[in-house]
Amino acid sequence: MSQHGRVYKNEAEKAHRLATFKTNKELIESFNAGGHKFKLGINQFADLTNDEYNEICSGFNPPLMTAVKAAKGFMYENVIDVPSGVDWRTRGAVTPIKHQGHCGSCWAFSAVAAVEGISQIKTGNLISLSEQELLDCDTSSENNGCNGGHMAKAFEFIVNNEGLSADADYTYKGLTGPAKTCSSKSSFSHPVAISGYEDVPSNDEVALLKAVANQPVSVAVDAGSFALQFYSSGIFTGSCGTNLSHAVTIVGYGTESDGTKYWIAKNSWGSSWGENGYIKMERDVDAEGGLCGIAMQASYPTA
């Protein structure tokens, strides 16, 4: 309660949350005794049931089928040689871990991280950009603030908006206000702009690898499992489906000493979750869409 600022309305709720915490703790300890490639740990979700966790952490809304456009180009299609490992964090293209709070805004954080990355790669300047501007101002598409959205639609908005404000100018509140709260064009400059976006060919981890070798990439995953709720460290190899519910940004990839290949994904749940806010997810798995559907709906901005 102290570490995560928990305040309960009465003793009955506190007792209920303590019971949930105890159940989760026992399940975590049981899992960690099983010799898996990754560990679970107590985090900010430890007083929540898995259903409650899913309610507050599901912010990815797949686009309506009627709105899906014809396939875009894929600029990395003919790339042949890629490095054995890439980490855009060490190359200065990744801002510090952010926290979306109790707001289904993962789509905005995923898109912004990808835009921050390509901007740094192209200009050499890393600027933390505003997720709140997307929540307040991206209201004409399928994106719906704290009620979820889609990264490709966010990229379209940034193009039409002629860029995005700096986070320092348009700070994150984790709330969605009425459209009239949008004040980007009248109040702030846009230090970063993009020219468009492209989709990575669906269900193709080889194509995804080519893209990530050149820039951070926005992806959606099925994050509903207990194991992902309490992921702490190691390479996530757990079982999960393809009910895409959460958005993250792949910022690298590599291979463990035992030969296990992995993606490095930046999350938006604060630095107390996972490996200081990041997760390593197994790469090159038998599943068509990649582990947890990570290769199903990937996209990246162009600049």
Domain boundaries, the chain: 11-302
Secondary structure of the chain in the HEC alphabet?
Answer: CCCCCCCCCCHHHHHHHHHHHHHHHHHHHHHHCCCCCEEECCCCCCCCCHHHHHHHHCCECCCCHHHCCCCCCCCCCCCCCCCCCEECCCCCCCCCCCECCCCECHHHHHHHHHHHHHHHHHHCCCCCECHHHHHHHCCCCCCCCCECECHHHHHHHHHHCCCECECCCCCCCCCCCCHHHCCHHHHCCCCECCCEEEECCCCCHHHHHHHHCCCCEEEEECCCCHHHHCEEEEEECCCCCCCCCEEEEEEEEEECCCCCEEEEEECCECCCCCECCEEEEECCCCCCCCHHHCCCCCEEEEC
Mean pLDDT of the chain: 92
Whether 142 has a pLDDT exceeding 80, the answer reads yes
Q: Residue 68: pLDDT above 50?
A: no
pLDDT exceeds cutoff 80 at 276:
yes
The catalytic position among 106, 182, 240, 292 is: 106
Angle at 292 between CA 251 and CA 17, to 5 degrees: 95
pLDDT of residue 65: 46
Measured in whole angstroms, the distance separating CA 145 from the mean position of its chain's CA atoms is 15
182 is a catalytic site residue: no
Mind listing the pLDDT tens digit for each residue in 197-255? Answer: 999 999 999 999 999 999 999 999 999 999 999 999 999 999 899 999 999 999 999 99
Tokens at 14, concatenated: 């506190």
**Per-residue pLDDT at 69:** 47
pLDDT class of 177 with cuts at 50, 70, 90: low
Higher pLDDT, 148 or 68: 148
Instruction: Return d(Cα 173, Cα 169) in angstroms, integer.
Output: 12
> Catalytic residue at 214?
no
The active-site residue out of 146, 190, 246, 292 is 246
Where residue 187 falls among pLDDT bands split at 50, 70, 90? low
The CA distance from 106 to 148, in Å, is 7
**11-302 topology per CATH:** Cathepsin B; Chain A (3.90.70)
Catalytic residue among 61, 143, 161, 267: 267
How far apart CA 225 and CA 58 sit, in angstroms, is: 12
Please state whether the predicted TM-score (pTM) of the whole model is above 0.85: yes
Known catalytic residue at 125: no
